[in-house]
Amino acid sequence: MNRIDVHHHLIPPTFTRVMSERGLKEVAGAPLPNWTVEQSLAVMDANGIRTAITSLSAPGVYFGDRQEARDLARSCNEFAADMAARHPGRFGSFAVLPMPFTEDACREASYALDVLKADGVVLLGSTEGKFLGDPHFDELMAELDRRHAVVFEHPNIHKTSNELDLAMPGFLVEFLCDTTRAAANLILSGTMERYPNIRWILSHAGGFLPFIAWRLSLANALPQFAVSAPQGVLTYLRRFYFDTALSPSPFAMAALKELVDPSHILFGSDFPFAPAIVTGMEVAALKELAVFDRAAKAGIDRGHALSLFPKYAQSQEPVVPADRPQAGNWLRNRAARGVVGIANWLRDR
């Protein structure tokens, strides 16, 4: 009983009611599970999960009514806090925010982190067509950066994905697109450079990021990104943390291991959207991986998450502090601007 699950969903009754009132029975093509706290505890006990840090999945809390989004976010966050209080040590939470309303999101983040003692917040890769990294969210990014907050990114179905008319549910491929696009936009928009104190956890092994990392790093040669990402794309990619939810295969984990230090890989189950039997399969697959040694596997199960959430450490249990990346310095940014100026001059000759 030592695992920490950073990708574990709750489905509060108020959320189920709102979905039902709108005739919504699926999330990204997957049926909305009939979930209870007892079901989470049962799957946790069966798979050695000591603590689950819960989050609301897509589509979030906004269904067209701003006040309803505020109320629903508060209700879900208080439900999560009460669940954690009734089961000490078993549950934490990433607070859901009433996105895409930045002012309301800042207010709810403050309440959830200060009053409810949430472990961080959950943000969808895209909301109402806007991806993370959009300037619309800068006020929220500044607030989360000031707090050194942990942000769990979970994919959504972008409106363009619904227009593709593919013969497959959105969670199979489109979820991974949402995460990949959001992460790339966080880097290239300069969000990660301006707000270096936010610790990001990406769902599902980062979508396609490990596979396209080298290709994405070609942006380093494009003048328009020299100021927004002056430390180079791979530097920012390696700041992300990645969970293993629905991605424990040797193919995905081998690619991820080549990209980031294993200390940035965390256990995730995706329960209850990944049902109990699948959660068991994930645990078994991670145990059998040959790409990680025993120490790395132990870290993925627990130790790496403790670096972000040390309050879950047992008495005398060692905790390795999470690294604290810094923004590029003024001289580096000035030099980048100079290089851009020379490149533009040469191009225009």
Which domains are present in the chain? 3-348 (3.20.20.140)
Task: Write the single-letter amino acid at 103.
Answer: E
- pLDDT at site 344: 46
Q: Dihedral of CA 220/222/223/228: which sign?
A: negative
- pLDDT at 189 exceeding the cut of 70: yes
Residues sharing a CB contact under 8 Å with residue 285, sequence separation 6 or more, in sequence order: 248, 249
The strand pairing partners of 30, in sequence order, are 27
- pLDDT at site 327: 62
Is residue 94 within 8 A of residue 120, CB to CB? The reply is yes
Neighbours of 33 (CB within 10 A): 17
- pLDDT per position as a tens digit, 201-226: 999 999 999 999 999 999 999 999 99
pLDDT band at 330 (very low <50, low <70, confident <90, very high): very low
- pLDDT at 347 exceeding the cut of 70: no
- pLDDT per position as a tens digit, 64-97: 999 999 999 999 999 999 999 999 999 999 999 9
pLDDT (mean) for 111-127: 98
- pLDDT per position as a tens digit, 212-271: 999 999 999 999 999 999 999 999 999 999 999 999 999 999 999 999 999 999 999 999
Query: What secondary structure, in 3-state letters, does 43-91 show?
Result: HHHHCCEEEEEEECCCCCCCCCCHHHHHHHHHHHHHHHHHHHHHCCCCE
- pLDDT at site 13: 97
Predicted TM-score of the model (pTM): 0.93
Is residue 248 within 8 A of residue 282, CB to CB? The reply is yes
Q: At which residue do the structure tokens 């549950």 appear?
A: 91
pLDDT (mean) for 178-182: 98
- pLDDT at 333 exceeding the cut of 70: no
- pLDDT at site 233: 97
Q: Which two tokens stand for residue 61?
A: 């809390």
HSE-up of residue 65 (Cα within 13 Å, Cβ side): 7
- pLDDT at site 324: 78
- pLDDT at site 332: 52
Average pLDDT, the chain: 93
Is residue 154 within 8 A of residue 124, CB to CB? The reply is yes
pLDDT (mean) for 132-157: 98
Q: Which two tokens stand for residue 190?
A: 């300069």
Q: Is the N-terminal amide bond of 169 cis, ω within 30° of 0?
A: no
- pLDDT at site 322: 87
Task: Write the single-letter amino acid at 183.
Answer: A
As to burial, measured by CB atoms within 10 angstroms (0-12 exposed, 13-18 middle, 19+ buried), residue 251 is: exposed
